[in-house]
Amino acid sequence: MAFVNLQNVTYKYPLTKTPVLQNINLQINEGEFVAVVGPNGAGKSTLCYALAGFVPHFFKGEISGSIEVAGAESSKSTLDEWVLNVGLAFQNPFNQISGAKYTVFEEIAFGLENSGVPRDEIRPRVEDAMKLTDISNLADRSPYSLSGGQQQRVALTSILVMQPRLLVLDEPTSQMDPIGTREVFGVVRRMAEGGMTVVMVEHKMEWIANFADRVIALKDGQILLEGKPNEVLTSDLLAENGFGLSRYTSTAREAKKRGLWKKSNLPVTLDEAVEGFS
């Protein structure tokens, strides 16, 4: 039995006419790192909310099919129980700051306080999580005084510290520089190797190819393609459906048309491109 199991999930927000998710079937194993790609409006964020329990518990609307994580079914659970197993961090870091805390350290401890973790455990867990994402130096700053990228790290740390079994990330690096992005992907990879299951919506194809185990391409609420990163991310289907390809893939596609790319499969990362062109 897969750790995450979506069966025929179709979902419609209360105010939309057409379903945002249509017949999604998806199985993810424990400790797997799955990346989700897709153009705007493909339903990526809705899929994240569905995994994290906010669809349908928070947004209401009509849902059919079943969503199971760690053997529990979403429709039979309540949101406050569900979030203990499934952590969600999303794109806009500013709105993820609780507003109830005056320092970054307290901000990260917020989730642990809410879930009733004893005081002696909170401090070491927050310290460990901050070391993991390399923000220990921000501990005493006000969360509002940070840059967008720093706030995104705080938002990610605030979820990691709760040690969810499934980590759902919706564009967690959108405001980060390349170094920050690489570090976040590295942290997420390590978490997956430690047994945490990860679903991450991301546009940065090179990083996905380097770090993720599997890619799901979403379009108009349906799964268009899924498989190994370098197969999915170089597929012609993606290029034809308006997905943004990595610059290396696009370059090599053009080169292939002109007979300059000799290998059968296209590159996603710099290393693959360098190897193929030389």
Partner 1 sequence: MHERLSFYVQRSSAIHDLNPLTKVILTLALILIAFTSPWYWTPHLLVLIAIIPLSFLGRVAPEFFKTAIRLILPAAGFLFLMQAFFQPVGESVIFKFYFLDVTQESLMFAFRSSMRVFVMVSAFTFMLLTTHPSELMSDLTRRGLPGQFAYVIISTLQILPQMQAKAQTIISAQRSRGLDTESSFLKRAGSVVPLVGPLVFGSLAEVEERAIAIEARGFTSKKIKTSLHEIADSNSDKIIRWVLTILVIISIALKIWLS
Interface with partner 1 (CB under 8 A), residue from 8, 29, 75, 95: 95
Q: Cα-atom radius of gyration of the chain, to the nearest Å? A: 19
Let me know: does 172 contact 155? Beta carbons within 8 Å: yes
Cα 228 to Cα 224: distance, rounded to the nearest angstrom: 14
Minimum CB distance to partner 1, residue 33 (Å) = 20
User: H or E element: which one contains 7?
Assistant: strand 4-12
Interface with partner 1 (CB under 8 A), residue from 21, 26, 47, 159: 159
Choices 47-55, 172-180, 239-247, 254-262 (CB under 8 A): range interacting with partner 1: 47-55
- Is residue 128 near partner 1 by the rule CB under 8 A? no
Adjacent-strand bridge partners of 72:
69
Interface with partner 1 (CB under 8 A), residue from 136, 142, 222, 241: 142
**Residues ≥6 apart with Cβ < 8 Å to 95:** none
Looking at the Cβ atoms of 80 and 275, the one nearer to partner 1 is 80
DSSP 102: S
- Is residue 227 near partner 1 by the rule CB under 8 A? no
Looking at the Cβ atoms of 168 and 223, the one nearer to partner 1 is 168
Let me know: does 70 contact 151? Beta carbons within 8 Å: no
DSSP calls for 170-215: ESTTTT--HHHHHHHHHHHHHHHHTT-EEEEE---HHHHHHH-SEE
Looking at the Cβ atoms of 67 and 109, the one nearer to partner 1 is 109
Choices 19-27, 95-103, 225-233, 263-271 (CB under 8 A): range interacting with partner 1: 95-103
Q: How far is CA 88 from the centre of its chain?
A: 8
- Is residue 52 near partner 1 by the rule CB under 8 A? yes
- Is residue 259 near partner 1 by the rule CB under 8 A? no
Looking at the Cβ atoms of 52 and 198, the one nearer to partner 1 is 52
Minimum CB distance to partner 1, residue 147 (Å) = 11
Minimum CB distance to partner 1, residue 105 (Å) = 8
Within the chain, where are the H helices?
Answer: 44-51, 54-57, 79-85, 104-114, 119-132, 148-160, 178-193, 205-211, 229-232, 236-240, 247-257, 270-277
Choices 79-87, 128-136, 177-185, 230-238 (CB under 8 A): range interacting with partner 1: 79-87
- Is residue 13 near partner 1 by the rule CB under 8 A? no
Cα 188 to Cα 127: distance, rounded to the nearest angstrom: 18
Interface with partner 1 (CB under 8 A), residue from 74, 85, 96, 150: 96
Let me know: does 52 contact 83? Beta carbons within 8 Å: yes
Let me know: does 119 contact 57? Beta carbons within 8 Å: no
- Is residue 118 near partner 1 by the rule CB under 8 A? yes
Interface with partner 1 (CB under 8 A), residue from 72, 100, 237, 260: 100
Number of residues that this document lists for the chain: 278
Interface with partner 1 (CB under 8 A), residue from 19, 43, 56, 111: 111
Biggest alpha carbon distance in the chain? 65
Interface with partner 1 (CB under 8 A), residue from 35, 154, 155, 199: 155
